[in-house]
Amino acid sequence: MSAEAHTANAPMQPRQILAVVLCIALTGLDGYDVLAISFAAPGIATEWGINKAVLGVVLSIELFGMAAGSALLGTLADRVGRKPTILACLCVMTLGMFAASWAQTIPFLAAARLLTGLGIGGMLASSSAIVAEVSNDRRRNLNLSLNIAGYPSGAILGGSLASFLLAHDHNWRVVFQVGAIATLVALPLAAILLQEQAGFLQSRTRTPLKLLFSRELAPATLLLTGAYFAQIMVFYFVQKWIPKILVDLGHTPAEAGAVLVAANIGCLFGAIGIGISSQLFRFVPLMLGAMVLGFCCVAAIGLGSWDLRQMAVVCCVAGFFVNAAVVGLYPVMARTFPARVRGSGIGFAIGIGRGGAALGPMAAGALFTLGYGLGAVALVMGSGALIAAVILMALTRLQAA
């Protein structure tokens, strides 16, 4: 019996559980490091006097880095190993966060965020591959969902701290400094506790990217990439624009940050909810329901008539369904791609798919600048969830054929 087959059928051991917990923590760092720019955005806009179109680019720039990091470093993880790739990503993220805290110009800040995104993208692909490989069949969907649940967990914990600091008259730069220090602390922990999995070592290949476009895998690769592209565009519209939208409605940056924390509480419970539900119900109907309800909730944000508490609730529910659908795509990817190309497959899908993540905040900024109201922008941006649902149905039919 191969190492991968043994892991798939045996009960999970303490070392496997420890690996999952550590990956969840590392994904939590990703969540905070990505959203640091959202918490800092109102302060940056005020200090530097930039308009919404420029701010949309600043909010999106690290997502291009995440796209490149997921695709390129995910492939690297299939060649040299998950552990060295993760350690390299942590180094890059630390440097990028410190650099952002030193920024004095838009180009320098953009470069720092691009660098940070490169590390974050590689981390998501590599940690997802490790979790898939240490998990048995019974717990794989749940563990992958919990791993991605680390993302909003990091945003909640770090975002609560950031909101507290901003409310007590700290400069926006402290938001990046907190993330840089936390990421630096994680580096030696990952170096000591992570190890390569036997299933990966037995199946390592030198040409993983080429295999993704073989006759066997190409259709699924393209469909998964398209679904992730559409759904993540909705996710990052909520994550990147909520603080600025609320400040424009007359609330303080600290109040806006608190609503973003509420949205990420919804994201956390959505990730946990889809994981637990996957143990009890058919997975694809759960995903389709989350996508449709996510669209409805994002459209509701656009009504704009909510008070602060109501907006927090609406954003929380939107985060629940939108992120449940994002998280649910990771088990689908892990199940679709075999071990020899799992890092590359997940990395390619979320890397190219993050083109949607990058385009989302930029497109929203452009629509706002052109004079479209919040309702129209929310409706347009939320429609990505419906597109993702259609693609997922096509993938399901392909796999059933």
Largest Cα separation within the chain, whole Å, is 63
* Other beta carbons less than 10 A from residue 238's beta carbon: 28
pTM above 0.75, yes or no: no
Q: Give residue 153's identity as a one-letter amino acid code.
A: S
What pLDDT is recorded for position 169? Answer: 67
Going from the C-alpha of 93 to that of each of 9, 180, 244, the distances in angstroms are 36, 7, 25
pLDDT of residue 400: 74
How is domain 12-400 classified at the CATH fold level?
Answer: Growth Hormone; Chain: A; (1.20.1250)
pLDDT tens for each residue of the chain, 401 residues long: 455 565 666 777 888 888 888 889 898 888 888 778 888 888 888 888 887 778 878 877 887 888 788 777 767 777 777 888 899 999 999 999 999 999 999 899 999 999 998 898 888 778 888 888 888 877 777 888 888 788 778 877 887 887 788 777 678 888 899 889 999 999 998 888 887 665 555 555 555 567 777 888 888 889 999 999 999 889 988 887 888 888 888 888 778 888 888 898 898 899 889 888 887 888 889 999 999 999 999 999 888 677 888 889 999 999 999 999 998 898 888 788 887 777 778 778 877 777 666 777 788 888 888 888 888 999 999 999 999 999 999 998 887 76
- Find out whether 124 and 257 touch, Cβ atoms under 8 Å: no
